[in-house]
Chain A
Amino acid sequence: MSLSLPLKDLAEESSLFRNRVLIAALGIALLTLALCARLVYLQFVSHEHYQNLSHNNRVNILPLAPTRGLIFDRNGVVLAQNVPSYSLEVVPEAVADMDALLNELREIVAIREIDEQRFRKALKRKKSFQGVPLRFLLSEREVANFAVNRHRFPGVDIQARLSRDYPLGTLAAHLVGYVGRISEADVARLDAVAYRGTSHIGKIGIERSYEGLLHGGPGYQQVESNAAGRTLRVLERTPPRPGNDLYLHLDAPLQALAEQALSGLRGAVVAIDPNTGGILALVSAPSYDPNLFVNGIEAARYGALRDSPARPLFNRAVNGQYPPGSTLKPFIALAALEVRLKQAGKKIFCPGWYQLSKGGRKYRDWKKRGHGHVSMTEALAQSCDVYFYELARTLGIQRMHDFLVRFGFGEKTGIDLPAEAAGLMPSPRWKRKARGKPWYPGETLITGIGQGFVLTTPLQLALATATLARSGERVVPRIVARAHHLAVDEETIFLAVRQPAITMQREKNWRRVIHGMVQVVHGPRGTARRSGLGARYRFAGKTGTAQVFGLRQEEEYKEKEVAKHLRDHALFIAFAPVKNPRIAIAVVVENGGSGSHSAAPVARRLLDQYLGQGAGQEKLASVASGAG
């Protein structure tokens, strides 16, 4: 080509080229300036912004779950604790042949079909460097076996976690409750930030109602992680704040005794310290093992518990609603004294039945032959129905209702458990509203003996008994006595919550009724006199027998049908010692027959045990109060 080069004006060409290069240089300068400006903007002007972004990129905040607080009874017996539980985890990226690995592992630890399925599912979700759990709850033997063979399994390791454990099993299961894995329903009620590292939450019982104290506060660690999310190192660590340990009012031996007394039966026992409202025992029989629920209960097992006719999951002590039967009579007597009914001061003749009007329906006494002429004390001791029919008729339903609600009947007690039933204290107004029907005079009569519409929970009965024992001083029942914060060694003491006391126009009204209740157990003709025999302290009680038959569906009481029905519920309320009472008890034995036969002996055993320690002093005290 160059051979055919024609003559050219070299100088002109050179200057043209120089011109063009200069223009290009100008363009280069402009572009340089623009890029430098951009760099200054990114690295100087917006440096802080990008530095933050970079920091957020690499630094991950990982939550550290706090250790859940322990639960103790009043003497430090452990009711709920955290124990290490071992799980087997596999890091997929370290495993070349997963099938071969699983086959080899099978020789050492049991891997069920369901374990493998769950594992394979999780394998797809997790990143290859994250451990995937293969087996939970390894036994000690399996842990030891694996430890010896660990060298054979690179990428497989044992992880220890803390798992909730209830060492006493079924003991106080309804009261302590249990924790379980956080469900979708739980998510709605919890603080997402505080629970970021937590897997379990209180589901029921104290575990639920004191969740806030038990859970503690989460800690955090700042870790540096790469784009794939792999943690490279820990930059900073804020330890979690452990949850509070709870000390209950509960007396574990007393609880154990009560559960033993009710073994094989269905029923409930509530024991309260009348001075503080502290729950000493709270039994619902039959019970269940809360440990089953902690790491997920198998469907079949849960179904068996749920569908069992004995309803072990149901907390009868606070949610069971029973007609109080004759255990309501002391309160009716008090009402009569308070409004100064003439009848309360004199003897009433009991022929064995009662009629509202001549030729009308006969309301029968439990004793066919009748009690004859009975005073209030005698009526209480012998549980004369006719006497209380008469009191109820004279009081009328409205006055009875107004008086009894002051003892907490028909209202929730405010106990520190997540759920409780309110019971029912009927009134004409309630009946009109709920049933759309007028109140019948006959219903007033049966309300006087704790039948009909009236329903109480064992807890309500125990609480009303405690109020009676303290001559009207009312407290809110409490399960937890104090919370101990381990980290700062601080103690929160839950003081007794007192409610306005019930004042009587005459203080001696209390003594008259209590005297009648003492005669129930210590009187010669008392219904529970056999349970009072040989007691080294004086106590007051009242038997009750409640018809099981659903009276609420009946407009009128049909005596004959009920009499042939299933066995009645047996009830007993008591407190002791009579002077300076330290314990008030309500016992309900479902279909237990009569209160005196099946419920009162239970109460007696509990009283013996609870008051047993200071028997000598108790004896003195009871002797001193003998006159009262």
Chain B
Amino acid sequence: MSLDSNEGLLIRGGPTRLQGPVRQRSLAQRLHIDPPLLLGLLLLSAIGLMVLYSASGQNSQLLLRQGVRLLIAFTVMIAVAQISPRQWCRWTPWFYGLSIALLLAVLAGGVMGKGAQRWLDLGVLRFQPSEILKLTVPMMLSAYLAERRLPPRTSRILIAGGFILIPTALIAMQPDLGTALLVAASGIFVLFLAGMSWRLIAGLGACAAVLAPVSWFLLHDYQRQRIVSFLNPEQDPLGAGYHLIQSKIAIGSGGLYGKGWLNGTQAHLEFLPERSTDFIFAVLSEEFGLFGAFMIFAVFLLITVRGLQLALQSQEPYGRLLGGALVLTFFVYVVVNIGMVTGVLPVVGVPLPLVSYGGTSMVSLMAAFGILMSAHTHRRLLSEGRRI
């Protein structure tokens, strides 16, 4: 399919490209890679490794493990990008079904969920099927909605809602509320991008507002505790609020220019918990200051904006919806993590993409970017579809 001669025309639509010979396609194009996005991701990974080296107490072994993971994740991304969106679309129901089955297996196997008391444990590596759902739920919705004309009718939206609700409920039962909400968000983003009507959005929003207080009673104790400690961390400075206080101290004490790389006292003297994983942004802010924080934020924005741009340029509805939703989910990760570390959002165990130490989420994230690149570079799917 990559030999399709019409590709140049459909990519840019510019007359200059028309004259370009097919042989001139760059390596990136042949590999289905978007260079700006790749650059952003590589930059982020490099910053991440640097901060991780400091946060881990200059643990080169840990750094090596993270490097290997990054290598795997980038390989996965490139591999995923080679497969056309049409193919992904075809496989989607299978993936979705398999991931739901895995979720059920987790529930049956009795693997316990996350508790706030585990916070002082460092770098626990677990296989989490719920991470896969972050990919398969938006895939399923995109595939389902892209079948018909958009915006979808209310009946289809309800069915799509079912696709979201089932895995969300299963993950919430683990219990892992943070991941459940993020999985739901990734699905809702698809609905939003697909053009779900504003009236429906408003109605759902109102429902959520009413249900929020009710859900308080459905929460587990540790989950309530997290919300309480978020609202008033000083209430229990050595208990659940400890991380938040120490995290704010780390960030605030960094000032404009920071304490310098490897000089963050909060991190190196072990005041900051989870400094290699969920709270790594605090280490960065402490050592590189406000400018460092802005820098990494700029990189996140660059990736997000470029990702949305790629989604916009994609002509194929499945890839477009999915790519857009995945980029928005990526940004939500960033916001939730930084919001949590700076104390504007409750503490939920969300890692900072590509910076936090850890494997599962990194691979699923890079797979998402792989899909996005695939959607962007395999744009002749539409014409092929027409021909078929």
Contact B312 A5 (CB under 8 A): no
B265 touches A6 (CB 8 A): no
Please encode chain A, from 1 to 40, with 1 for each CB lying within 8 Å of some chain B CB and 0 for all others. Answer: 1111110111001101110110011001001101110111
Q: Is A302 an interface residue, CB under 8 A from the partner?
A: no
Q: Which residue of A lies closest to B338 (CB)?
A: A35
> Judging by beta carbons under 8 Å apart, are A2 and B318 in contact?
yes
In the complex with contacts A16-B151, A24-B324, A31-B335, A47-B269 CB distance below 8 A: no
Determine if B290 and A6 form an interchain contact, defined as CB atoms under 8 angstroms apart: no
Contact A1 B294 (CB under 8 A): no
List 13 interface pairs A-B (beta carbons < 8 Å), by A numbering.
A5-B146, A20-B192, A24-B328, A35-B342, A39-B342, A43-B285, A43-B293, A53-B252, A54-B253, A55-B253, A57-B246, A58-B269, A227-B270
Contacts of A46 in B (CB 8 A): 252
**In the assembled complex, A42 has its CB within 8 A of some CB on chain B:** yes
- Contact status of A54 and B297, CB under 8 A, knowing A5-B147, A21-B324, A43-B289: no
**A36 contacts B266, C-beta separation under 8 Å:** no
How would residues 193 to 224 of chain A score, 1 for a CB under 8 Å from any chain B CB and 0 otherwise? 00000000000000000000000000000001
Docked complex Cα distance between A345 and B315 (Å): 140
Within 8 A of B (CB), among A39-74: 39-40, 42-44, 46-47, 49-51, 53-55, 57-58
Cβ-neighbour of B269 out of A17, A38, A51, A57 (below 8 A)? A57
A-B contacts at CB below 8 angstroms, number: 156
Contact B312 A47 (CB under 8 A): no
Minimum CB distance partner of B384 in chain A? A2
**A228 within 8 Å of B (CB atoms):** yes
Query: Is A21 in contact with B312, judged by CB distance below 8 angstroms?
Result: yes
Does the CB pair A54–B285 fall under 8 Å?
no
**Pick the contact of B270 from A38, A51, A226 — CB < 8 Å?**
A226
Answer whether residue B248 sits at the interface, using C-beta atoms and an 8 A cutoff: yes
B148 and A226 contacting across the interface, CB-CB below 8 Å: no
When chains A and B are docked, how far (Å) is the Cα of A227 from the Cα of B267?
10
Min Cβ gap A415→B in Å is 52
Q: How far is the CB of B43 from chain A (nearest CB, A)?
A: 18
User: Which A-B residue pairs are the 8 nearest by beta carbons?
Assistant: A50-B252, A54-B253, A226-B269, A43-B290, A227-B270, A8-B149, A47-B255, A42-B252
Within 8 Å of chain B (Cβ to Cβ): is A232?
yes
Indicate which residue in A8, A9, A28 contacts B331 across the interface (CB closer than 8 Å): A28
Given A58-B269, A227-B270, the answer on whether A51 and B308 have CB atoms closer than 8 Å is: no
Residues of B within 8 A of A (CB): 86, 89-90, 92-93, 143-144, 146-151, 189, 192-195, 246, 248-256, 265-266, 268-271, 285, 289-290, 293-294, 297, 301, 304-305, 308, 311-312, 315, 317-318, 320-321, 324, 328, 331, 335, 338-339, 342-344, 385, 388
- Report the count of interface residues on A (CB-CB < 8 A): 46
> B90 and A2: CB pair below 8 A?
yes
- Contacting pair A47 B270 (CB below 8 A): no
Q: A28-B304, A43-B285, A44-B290 are in contact. Are A224 and B269 (CB under 8 A)?
A: yes
Residue A375 at the B interface, CB < 8 A? Answer: no
Shortest C-beta distance, A33 to chain B (Å), equals 11
Whether the Cβ atoms of B252 and A43 lie closer than 8 Å is yes
CB-CB under 8 A for A49 and B270, given A17-B193, A21-B193? no
Known: A2-B385, A17-B324. A57 touches B265 (CB 8 A): yes
Residues of chain A lying within 8 A (CB to CB) of residue B269: 57-58, 224-227, 232
Asked if A42 and B193 make an inter-chain contact with CB atoms under 8 angstroms apart, the answer reads no
B195 touches which of A3, A17, A32, A226 (Cβ 8 Å): A17
A2 x B252 contact (CB < 8 A): no
Measured between beta carbons, the chain B residues less than 8 angstroms from A3 are: 388
Option from A18, A28, A31, A50 in Cβ contact (under 8 Å) with B249: A50
Which one of A14, A50, A54 has the highest number of Cβ atoms from chain B below 10 Å of its Cβ?
A54
Partner of A2, one of B89, B256, B339: B89
A34 to chain B, nearest CB (A): 8
Task: Give the distance in Å from the alpha carbon of A49 to the alpha carbon of B255 in the complex.
Answer: 10
| Chain A CB within 10 Å, residue with most, of B143, B248, B249, B253 | B253
Residue of B nearest to A56 (CB): B249
Given known A-B contacts A2-B318, A17-B320, A227-B271, A35 and B339 have beta carbons under 8 A apart: yes
The interface residues of chain A lying within 8 Å CB-to-CB of B246 are 57
A39, B293: Cβ atoms under 8 Å? Answer: yes
Give Cα A55–Cα B301 distance, bound, in whole angstroms: 33
Closest chain A residue to B386, Cβ basis: A5
Closest Cβ neighbor of B289 among chain A residues = A43
Q: Chain A: which residue is nearest B282 at the CB level?
A: A42
Closest A residue to B192 by CB, please name it.
A20
Q: A51 touches which one: B151, B193, B253, B318 (CB < 8 A)?
A: B253
Contacts of A224 on B, CB cut-off 8 Å?
265, 269
Q: A17-B320, A38-B342, A228-B270 are in contact. List 19 more A-B contacts (CB 8 A).
A: A1-B143, A2-B147, A2-B318, A6-B149, A8-B317, A17-B311, A21-B193, A21-B308, A21-B311, A25-B308, A32-B301, A36-B294, A39-B293, A43-B252, A47-B252, A47-B256, A51-B253, A54-B249, A58-B271
Contact present for A8 and B249 (CB under 8 Å):
no
A13 to chain B, nearest CB (A): 5
**Residues in chain B near residue A31, CB distance under 8 A:** 331, 335
User: Using Cβ atoms and an 8 Å threshold, which residues of chain A touch B149?
Assistant: 6, 8-9, 13
CA distance A21 to B311 in the complex (A): 9
Q: Which residues of B contact A9 (CB under 8 A)?
A: 149
Contacts of B256 in A (CB 8 A): 43-44, 47
* Structural contact, B193 and A24, CB atoms closer than 8 A: yes
Contact across chains for A8 and B150 when beta carbons are under 8 A apart: yes
Interface string of A314-356 (1 = CB under 8 A from B): 0000000000000000000000000000000000000000000
- Nearest-neighbour CB distance to chain B for A27, whole angstroms, equals 8
**Do B148 and A6 touch across chains, with their CB atoms under 8 A apart?**
yes
Residues of chain A with a CB closer than 8 A to B289's CB = 43
Residues of A within 8 A of B151 (CB): 16
Q: Closest chain B residue to A19 by CB distance?
A: B195
Q: Mark A220-241, 1 if CB is under 8 A from B, else 0.
A: 0000111110001000000000
CA distance A476 to B295 in the complex (A): 78
Tell whether A43 pairs with B192 under 8 Å between CB atoms, given A57-B266, A57-B269: no
Smallest Cβ distance from A104 to chain B, in angstroms? 33
Q: In the complex, A598 Cα to B116 Cα: how many Å?
A: 83
The minimal Cβ–Cβ distance linking A5 to chain B, given in whole angstroms, is 6
Please, which residues of chain A bring their CB within 8 A of the CB of B317? 8, 13
Q: Known: A57-B271, A58-B271. Contact between A20 and B195, CB under 8 A? A: yes
Complex Cα distance, B293 from A35, in Å, reads 10
Which A residues touch B251, using CB under 8 A?
39, 42-43, 50
Min CB gap A162→B, angstroms: 32
Flag if A18 contacts B312 (CB, 8 Å).
Answer: yes
Whole-angstrom distance from the CB of B71 to the nearest CB of chain A?
A: 29
